Structure 1
Amino acid sequence: MHNKTHSSTPTPGFIKHCRRWLASVALGLLALPASALDVTGIPNSHDPATIMKDGDTYFHFTTGNGIWYSRSTDMVNWGNPADVFGGSWPNWINDAVPGFEGHFWAPGAIQMGDYYYLYYSASTFGSSRSAIGVVRTNSLKNPNWQDLGMVVQSYGGSDEINAIDAALFRDHDGKVYMSYGSWFGGLGVAEINQSTGKLASSVTHIYGGGHQSIEAPYITRNGDYYYLFFTRGNCCQGVDSTYRVQVARSTSVFGPYSGERNLIPNQDGNRKGPGHIGIIKQDGCNYTSMHYYDLNENGTAKLDIQRMNFSGGWPYMTRNFSSIGSCGGVSEGLYRFTSQLSGKTLEISGADTANGGNVVQYDFNGGLHQKWYVVDQGAGQYSLINAGSLKGMDVWEGSTAAGANIAQWDYWGSAGQKWRLNAAGTGVEIESVLSGMVLDVYNFSTANGGNIVQWNSTGGNNQRWNMIRQY
């Protein structure tokens, strides 16, 4: 942010800063009430990262002294706080951000392959001498944090994209992008290398600049549009905050974004100054999280959750959760698919990373080539991106014939690369949007290497798959 003030300790009374929250990714339904989520235990949060889940436990990272976080098993009662760096910080920050005193801002989190990556901001009040770093662990419940160093830096220039407020999202093609920035030079976006956690492309300026009050970006995609959410106004002033959330859209993640419109006003009842929106794609629904200042509690910063729908190509917000879980979809995330016939897992044969690599079944061995990113495209359609190759599951040569082979190919958005995940008994059928046929273990094979084709739905267990979330 251009102007930030923060609390000094991660306690229930902590906070004076602003940002985002949440991401639940279990296949089961999230038990939200008919109004906003009533968070207890450690109810306050500023600029939190997307909430991550490891097994039965949710993890909530947020602004504070150190990169502190709390835990919950129900997303309602939060507690058991800890600090990623244990009261210290990596030495590289001292050179990148002179005067840094250990107060980290606005983390952003994402799961990539077998690791959880946590991006963090190091800066000082009112300065664009800032840096975003990244740390990762293969378990949140039993963490072994490894700092990977700097991702991007700004040097204090008045027109630079300030290296704070990182937000991560996965596109339909499986690529991951980080958006970031604040006043000064506005907002930027770059692709992330999913093996290193670092930048895979140069940074593209996408919005704002010239010291406009624009910050805290978050990008999501629905259908053919990318939506850039951001906050305008001043945060961190409690009941006097002028924050509000706005949105623009584009047909490219790199912009240009246009059509800016208001999404969440500065005040809604006792909620003042909402900011730092985050989005959960849960059970086919879109849920948003953000902070607000509670006018009934002298401006205490709290968490708010709303539901987001789309109409006429634009998002709108509602607090009506009466139809929670009725969106008819599954949660985004990393999964493996096991055949209800053979118990074997869908994989790319031989861990091939080339176009045309064949989809077969095999005993599960934990390889990334046996795991798939399920990416919600809206309208009940998903892309299935192999975690090893980052290529999309594809009906070979766009065939609509029964028996056509299933392979992988660079994702380009064809109907042959889009899928529906239809509930079928205790599992799902994986239906091609192109052909209306479903994935089928050819000739009822139970052998390793059994080929996967498309076939008319018969209801057989060679066409039914268990989705197992990979945490």
Structure 2
Amino acid sequence: MRKKKTMLASLLLTAMFFVQSIIPASASTWNLNGDTNVHDPAYIVENGTGTHWAFSTGSGIQVLYSTNGTTYQRSLPIFNQKPAWWSQYVPKQDGLDVWAPDIFYYNGTYYLYYSISTFGSKVSAIGLVTTNSISGGVWKDQGMVTYSNDSSPYNAIDPNLMQDEKGNLWMVFGSWSNGIYITAISKDTMKPTGNAYRIATKSGGIEAPNLVYNSKTGYYYLFVSIGKCCSGLDSTYQVAVGRSKSVLGPFYDKNGVDMKNGGATVIDSGNSAWIGPGGQDINGTNVIARHAYSAAENGAPKLLISDLYWDADGWPYYN
């Protein structure tokens, strides 16, 4: 009898382990408080200090920080006056209005990319500032990274830097105008070297690209925001994704449709409380930050951060 009970217990433990291994853990959205008003957040945890930072669209690049990752307060903006080169590339840029920053840590330096433009125009530019300490608050202007005009095939906004499995650096960028592009980045200048290649388009709007490599699945994932942004509760933004075995694509959605031909698998379309989620930023492979419009606060754009999970087929999800 004792032997049978032992065998039964062993079988039950084995079954429990099997069930746990095939059922993914429940994803969770962080309970944030304080000042969480953002648009197009770029999220990072600073080395050494452990401080959580969120850079976002707004006057001079808006900055939020948190010592515990959940309670945020606003810091000083990155810019308090225009760099001289802004007016050369985007003459009609409005004051200190800066869009969709991206923060990238590499070899002891923080690289903060950003874009300047005007609505409905391809006259745009991507710029760069750097620092060795975000908490120190001293940023150095590194000038123009790339630009576009009315005759360009792409719109030079929404930059995102990543490092591929071989250690090479890449930048994805772009918007509605012919979609999302990718270009190689020099490790010396941290600016583009060579041509830019189109990797995604979609009618009705596509922007805010974020490219990550997941070593566990062996895929590159291109996250994008599709639909219409910046209209409060009337926004139709959604977070979508495709994947590829190559950093240059082609990227396919779950149905096998190439993202260059409009493919995109939606993983977040919002809900009754949070409208139009998008402007996402992936931290590593396990955290996703984005903004969404709060129904409770009449469409105010708020910071949302969630744990990012990967299902058995290697696709990302969160709640």
Q: TM-score, normalised by structure 2?
A: 0.82
Q: Is residue 2:304 matched to residue 1:304?
A: yes
Quote the residue 2:69 is aligned against.
Answer: 75
Q: CA deviation at 1:311?
A: 3.0
Q: CA deviation at 1:215?
A: 0.8
**Alignment partner for residue 166 of structure 1, among 152, 155, 159?**
159
Q: Distance in 2 between matches of 1:196 and 1:316?
A: 33
Per-residue Cα deviation, 1:120-177 (whole angstroms, up to 9, x for no partner): 10101211100001110111121332111111101123x6211111112222222221
CA 261–70 in structure 1, closer or farther in 2 if over 3 Å, else same: closer
Per-residue Cα deviation, 1:416-451 (whole angstroms, up to 9, x for no partner): xxxxxxxxxxxxxxxxxxxxxxxxxxxxxxxxxxxx
Q: Is residue 2:197 matched to residue 1:204?
A: yes
**Alignment partner for residue 224 of structure 1, among 210, 213, 218?**
218
RMSD, aligned α-carbons: 2.0
> Identity rate of aligned residues, in percent?
38
Per-residue Cα deviation, 1:304-356 (whole angstroms, up to 9, x for no partner): 2233332354424233xxxxxxxxxxxxxxxxxxxxxxxxxxxxxxxxxxxxx
Quote the residue 1:139 is aligned against.
Answer: 133
Q: TM-score, normalised by structure 1?
A: 0.57
**Alignment partner for residue 207 of structure 2, among 189, 195, 215?**
215
**Matched AA of 1:36:** T
Q: CA deviation at 1:68?
A: 2.6
Written as runs of structure 1 = structure 2, the 5 A alignment for 1:105-116 is: 105-116=99-110
Quote the residue 2:15 is aligned against.
Answer: none
Q: CA deviation at 1:34?
A: 7.8
Q: Distance in 2 between matches of 1:76 and 1:244?
A: 24
Q: CA deviation at 1:54?
A: 4.1
Quote the residue 1:263 is aligned against.
Answer: 266
3-state DSSP of counterpart to 1:95: helix
Quote the residue 1:277 is aligned against.
Answer: 280
Quote the residue 1:250 is aligned against.
Answer: 244
Quote the residue 1:36 is aligned against.
Answer: 29
Contact residue 190 and residue 204 of structure 1 kept, 8 A: yes
Per-residue Cα deviation, 1:159-211 (whole angstroms, up to 9, x for no partner): 621111111222222222111100012111112222322113321111116x6
Q: Distance in 2 between matches of 1:164 and 1:59?
A: 21
Q: Distance in 2 between matches of 1:74 and 1:34?
A: 20
**Matched AA of 1:102:** L
**Matched AA of 2:185:** I
Contact residue 54 and residue 141 of structure 1 kept, 8 A: no
Quote the residue 1:348 is aligned against.
Answer: none
List runs of 5+ in structure 1 lacking aligned partners: 1-32, 320-471
Quote the residue 2:260 is aligned against.
Answer: none
3-state DSSP of counterpart to 1:82: coil
**Matched AA of 2:46:** K
Q: Is residue 2:33 matched to residue 1:49?
A: no
Q: Distance in 2 between matches of 1:80 and 1:271?
A: 22
Contact residue 242 and residue 265 of structure 2 kept, 8 A: no
Q: CA deviation at 1:64?
A: 0.8
Q: Is residue 2:293 matched to residue 1:293?
A: yes
Q: CA deviation at 1:107?
A: 0.3
Q: Distance in 2 between matches of 1:67 and 1:251?
A: 34
CA 309–58 in structure 1, closer or farther in 2 if over 3 Å, else same: closer
3-state DSSP of counterpart to 2:83: coil
Quote the residue 1:356 is aligned against.
Answer: none
Q: CA deviation at 1:274?
A: 0.8
**Matched AA of 1:76:** T
Quote the residue 1:343 is aligned against.
Answer: none
Q: Is residue 2:317 matched to residue 1:317?
A: yes
Written as runs of structure 1 = structure 2, the 5 A alignment for 1:12-27 is: none
Quote the residue 1:104 is aligned against.
Answer: 98
List runs of 5+ in structure 2 lacking aligned partners: 1-25, 254-262
Contact residue 137 and residue 145 of structure 1 kept, 8 A: yes
3-state DSSP of counterpart to 1:94: helix
3-state DSSP of counterpart to 2:63: strand
Q: Distance in 1 between matches of 2:274 and 2:267?
A: 11
Contact residue 39 and residue 77 of structure 1 kept, 8 A: yes
Q: Distance in 2 between matches of 1:133 and 1:208?
A: 24
Q: Distance in 2 between matches of 1:197 and 1:168?
A: 9
Contact residue 252 and residue 264 of structure 2 kept, 8 A: no
Contact residue 219 and residue 228 of structure 1 kept, 8 A: yes
CA 265–61 in structure 1, closer or farther in 2 if over 3 Å, else same: closer
Q: Distance in 2 between matches of 1:267 and 1:41?
A: 22
CA 188–115 in structure 1, closer or farther in 2 if over 3 Å, else same: same
Contact residue 273 and residue 294 of structure 2 kept, 8 A: yes
Q: Distance in 1 between matches of 2:91 and 2:296?
A: 38
**Alignment partner for residue 239 of structure 1, among 233, 245, 267?**
233
Q: CA deviation at 1:80?
A: 4.3
